[in-house]
Amino acid sequence: MKYSIDIETVCGVKTCKGYNTVHQCPHDHALHHIKNKITKIGIYWRLKDNTEKFKSFDSINDFKLFFNDLPKENMELIGQNFKFDIKTLRAKGLFISKDLWSDDTRCMAIALSDKIPEKWLMFYNIKRNSLNKKLGKQIHRVAGKYSLKTLAPYHLNIEPFWENEDHSDEEYLFLDCKYTYNLESVLKRKLEEENTYEFYKDKLLKWEKMLYEAEYRGIRLDLNKMSELEIKYKNKEIDLLKQLDKELEKYNKLYAKKERQKLYEKYKNMYYNAVNKIKEELKEEKESKLKLKYKKLLRSALQKAPKTISFSSKSQVAWLFEECLGYDITYKKREKGKEIIKKGVGKEVINRLLLENKPYVKLYKEYSKTNKLNTSYFPSYKEKLVDDILYCSFNIGGTKTGRLSSSNPNLQQVPADLKEIFIAREGYKLITKDMSGIEPVLIAYLSEDHNLCNLLINGDNFHNYVTKFLVEYVNCDTSEVKKKFKAERDLCKVVDLSLFYGSGKNRLKTTSILHGFNWSDADCSFKIKLFKEKFMGAFKFKENLDKHLEKGLSVTNIMGRKLKIPDKDDVYMTGFNSLIQGSASDLVLESGARILEEKDLHPLLLVHDELVIEVPDNTQIKENEKKIEEKMTNYTLQSCHGVIPLQVEGNISNHWEK
């Protein structure tokens, strides 16, 4: 028997100002399986004669009683983004076996290469906005292309539907369940029609279940270490700020003056505008009143006006560097194919100024980094922790390329310096393994490029190889490059892959400057020519791929995922990139799922080409490490030049290894 299930949740943190309400919680606690609170649970099914059955529950206990009484043999559960529901139910005491989870309409929509057109989504959002306008509040949030709110109207030919303000609407819950139930069969047919049903069922759904386990388990933080680091960086920030304020005192005064000037102008204009609106005959009596009013407003505004430069404001720092210190803060940027000159204090400008030995730049750079850690990492982690466990969400359909993404918090962008606070549970260790050099391997496998295949089959390192021929004078054994030409290799390492994906001489030049080399334009052009000749096969492959994608046709990646580029103008820059990065990501997902099938191995984090796995700290650990390596490399990448080997790197440790 098929059932579709849906739950409604709200913020469940009593001390939070969003407690028990939807949409107001600033931390999205409604989405946190431990910090949320279930308000309704709905279950929908159909009898043999097709009559609809629907039941809803206000409490988990009532639902539990009902659910436990249902016959489990041949039970099939369907959900929309069911990962969230099954996780939340489990956290509240109802464990549902993964085996009963038979379909996920969100995953189905992700696997379907036929996506909802952008235009359709636009119309949907216009409707949503006008509804919000009527309500006077942003009640209805953006519905993504994989949410039920857009999938159901699009695939089932029904009118868009909306929940009421408190999410407790019985009717809405019923529709949610019913549409999920109906979507399953429609999407199944569509997947079968385009031959992606197997990919969905055997791969994507399996991966989603693995992610569910990873999310449910969460990762432990070393709280002592964290507060130690937090204090360290707090003090560092205060220190740096003191230095900046001291050294730049006169500019602080200048800035305060400028801001005051701006306020004078602002309130002067407001005053004149107000005066102009008065009818001629009333002018005399009202004018003086207005003058007083705006004087008063100006006075209070002046009191609140900033007295020092805020170094976390890019525009203020830009003003300081350009107007006060006379630095050149321009940089080139491409927008819609055109090169434009922009101003800013981003990485590129800062690094150039550093090379020019401009004062204060180093100080500012350090301050920015510290400020970033203090404002966007520690507070976010602390707010999301449950005891010492941190939970994130993985989004399998979050990206255009097929890559995985992470949010709440995003554990795929943890700064290297903070990785040491991520630790194993008592009695466990963490094994960090990354599939180093996975992208060149996939490019070799898919394009069968002669040189690329051979160098990898020989066991040579891609970056070493590139360094050797890109830096003309290098003529040594490939294995010696890393030692003898470290700076050159570091430069090549950050730019070589991008050359496959379409980066050009400007990119090469900027990168060379960042690495302390000043390669000329001609030099860069020449090097790119060399690179293209060396890997002619790969570029030929890209050319053909682009032609194919530009026709609007789809390609299948290494794991069976179908990929289309909706806008043909995007193909040149994103087509090849998506195929390779999506394949790499799927390879890691598949590896994670295979690892989970083994006893006692718990994948926790997936970071594009890297897995962090929690394993028991016992005598089996070395064997387990071998097992993990085997799961990550046991793919046969057969090319016409031979089998291309996959390699993994990484260690067993108490914490997440850099």
Smallest separation, CB 309 to DNA (Å): 10
Which CA distances in Å does 168 have to 10, 29, 60, 606?
Answer: 10, 17, 15, 35
CB 9 within 8 A of CB 166: no
Which is nearer to DNA, 344 or 560 (by Cβ)? 344
Smallest CA-to-CA distance from 399 within 184, 145, 209 is with 145
Q: What is the DSSP letter of 158?
A: -
In whole angstroms, how close is the CB of 135 to DNA at the nearest point? 11
We find the least distance from the C-beta atom of residue 576 to DNA, in angstroms, to be: 9
Minimum distance from CB of 640 to DNA (Å)?
27
The H or E element spanning position 173 is helix 170-193
For residue 77, the surrounding DSSP H or E stretch is: strand 76-79
- Classify each residue of 139-157 as buried b or exposed e, where b means 16 or more C-beta atoms within 10 Å of its C-beta: bbeebebbebbbbbbbbee
- The least distance separating DNA from the CB of residue 347, rounded to whole angstroms, comes to 4
Distance CA 213, CA 87 (A): 8
CB of 123 to DNA, least distance (A): 16
Residue with smaller CB distance to DNA, 286 or 293: 293
The helix or strand, by DSSP H or E, that contains position 56, with its residue range, turns out to be strand 52-57
Considering beta carbons, is residue 89 or 604 the nearer one to DNA? 604
Binding site for DNA (CB under 7 A): 137-138, 310, 312-316, 318, 334, 337, 342, 344-347, 350, 368-369, 372, 375-376, 380, 395, 398-401, 403, 405-410, 412-416, 434, 497-498, 501-507, 570, 572-574, 577-578, 581, 607-610
Cis peptide before 409 (omega within 30 of 0): yes
Q: What is the DSSP letter of 645?
A: P
Q: Distance between CA 437 and CA 646 in Å, rounded?
A: 8
Could you tell me the smallest distance in angstroms from the CB atom of residue 646 to DNA? 15
Smaller CB separation from DNA, 102 or 308: 308
Q: Which is nearer to DNA, 32 or 40 (CB)?
A: 32
Would you say 28 or 287 has its CB closer to DNA? 28
Query: What Rg, from alpha-carbon coordinates, does the chain have?
Result: 29
**Angle in degrees, CA 79, 84, 88, rounded to 5:** 115
CB of 656 to DNA, least distance (A): 10
Q: Report the residue number, 9 or 432, with the smaller CB distance to DNA.
A: 432
* Residue 381 CB contacts under 8 Å (≥ 6 apart), including other chains: 221, 226, 390, 409
Query: Closer CB to DNA, residue 5 or residue 221?
Result: 221
